[in-house]
Structure 1
Amino acid sequence: MKKISFTNPHRKKHFEFFNGMNHPHFSITTNVEVTDILPHFKNSGIPVHSGLVFLISRAANEVTEFRQRIRGEEVVEHKYVHPSFTVPTTGTDVFSFCTVTYHPEAGIFLKEAAARIDEMKTDPVMEDEPGRDDYLFLSAIPWIRFTAIQHAMHYHPHDSVPRISWGKIFDEGDKKMMPLSVQVHHALMDARHVGAFYENFEKLGAQVGEIFR
């Protein structure tokens, strides 16, 4: 982790402008193609949920701004940020959070994810680890082909952890498509950075056979 200082006058002004707002977050939702992803997961025995968590986490980690967080008057940048995602529980009809340490190698990540998901199903948690902000908050909504989403979050002080959600996979001609939503803190990033995340996801989706070997 390192501290970030915005030395460019306009970049500093951009940060101060949006950081001073009561609601400094913006959200973008679009449909992404997953045509090549699903058959590979099925043929390789990879759980769709865990596989998507990995691809989304890797796409986000490859954009510097997705690893930056606001701490009071400071901005820090993590080497990696780690997915904290929703999983079903056995004792109730509401979810548990499940945090898995991010690793850029898919096989290592998936092995830990499997163990953590099983644990959280029977021993659910709702709390984040105190003092940590190196998360990506992820949630799957596989029942709904949504076009927008609004997340619960702390506004005072501002919460700068990105929220990323995906929804029901559907057919569009001969393609498989999936709604994918990103909600981020505007002081840390602009639409071009969210666009880079989507480009990364599409690139990784096209390389799925190479990534999940």
Structure 2
Amino acid sequence: MTNPVPVDLSTYPRREHFAHYRDVVPCTYSMTAEIEVTRFVTAIKATSRRSYISQIWALASIVNTHDEFRMTVTDSGALAVWPSLDPSFTIFHPAQETFSSVWVPFDEDFGAFHEAAARTIEDYADATALFPQGPPPGNMFNVSSLPWTSFTGFTLHIDEGSKHLAPIFTLGRYVERDGRTLLPITAQVHHAVADGFHTSRLLNELQEMFAEPSWLGD
């Protein structure tokens, strides 16, 4: 894991916003959108790929293109940006009605990432620990899935959430409407590092990826 790179606050364009929304008015927000995944769902049925893993990779690939979603605060209290973030995601255990949180290193090669993630899910399918791989690394963001229900809003209430700068994504059950397939997704974001503009851009880029799913391969 590469160390985060310190941010020069003297040239950081969000220095006032960061100070205000982290220290004066600590503020996180959530944004829920329905992303059209009609072509994605059709395409993935023709492959051996898994939808959940593919969704995670799509999110990770976009998160890793934007500094604002890779921000962290170091132990010394300095603002820094990770060179890259790895996705941490949940695996549900029906027998116990619990879940485990696992992570896989991000790989720009979708096929390589898919293989590693599928192997990780298989390895920990029967795990009972919350973090079966051990303590989570610092350079990660979280993804969870609620395939049992769709939703139009979802909010996490995080104690001392002003210290958590990485985004958190929650995926819902597909919705069929007017011949289109929609994926509910909520992004939980820290206002100190990202505004609605930045989150909207991320969600729009995710929409573009699902509209052109040639990256799925065979």
The TM-score, its normalising length taken from structure 2, stands at 0.88
Q: Which amino acid aligns with 1:63?
A: H
Paired letter, 1:182:
A
Residue 98 of structure 1 corresponds to which residue in structure 2? 102
Distance in structure 1 (CA, Å) of the matches to 2:123 and 2:46: 26
Partner of 2:160: 155
1:156-195 → structure 2 map (5 Å cutoff): 158-195=163-200
Amino acid at match of 1:112: A
Match of 1:200 in 2: 205
Q: Which residue of 2 aligns with 1:68?
A: 71
The alignment partner of 2:38 has SS state of: coil
Distance 1:131 1:36, change over 3 A: closer
Q: Among the aligned pairs, what percent are the same residue?
A: 20
In structure 2, the residue matched to 1:109 is 113
- Normalised TM-score (structure 1): 0.90
Counterparts of 1:101 and 1:110 in 2: how far apart (Å)?
A: 11
Q: 1:210 to 1:161 in 2, by over 3 A?
A: closer
Give the secondary structure class of the aligned counterpart of 2:52.
helix
RMSD over aligned CA atoms reads 2.1
Q: Classify the secondary structure of the residue corresponding to 1:201.
A: helix
* Partner deviation per Cα, 1:80-113 (whole Å, 9 max, x = no partner): 1111111122651111101111111110100000
Partner of 1:139 in structure 2? Answer: 144
Contact 2:92 2:98 in 1 (8 A): yes
| 1:80 alignment partner in structure 2 | 84
Distance in 2 between residues matched to 1:57 and 1:82, nearest whole Å: 7
CA distance in 2, matches of 1:61, 1:9: 19
CA distance 1:135–1:154, change in 2 (3 Å): farther
Structure 1 residue 74: Cα displacement: 0.9
1:34 and 2:37 equivalent? yes
Counterpart secondary structure, 1:88: strand
Q: Assess, with a 3 A threshold, how the Cα gap between structure 1 residues 10 and 43 changes in structure 2: closer, same or farther.
A: closer
State the Cα deviation string for residues 28-50 of structure 1 (Å, max 9, x = none). Answer: 00111101111111110211111
Q: Which moved more, 1:49-58 or 1:107-116?
A: 49-58
- The 8 Å contact of residues 141 and 168 in structure 2, kept in 1 or not, is answered as yes
The corresponding residue for 1:19 is 22
Residues 152 and 101 from structure 1, CA distance in 2 versus in 1: closer, same or farther, beyond 3 angstroms? farther
8 Å CA contact 2:36–2:211 kept in 1: the answer is no
Q: 1:41 to 1:156 in 2, by over 3 A?
A: closer
Give the secondary-structure state (helix, strand or coil) at the position aligned to 1:180: strand
Q: Distance in 2 between matches of 1:103 and 1:15?
A: 30
Unaligned runs of 5+ in 1: none
CA distance in 2, matches of 1:140, 1:200: 20
Question: How many equivalent pairs are there?
Answer: 213
Structure 2 unaligned runs (5+)? Answer: none
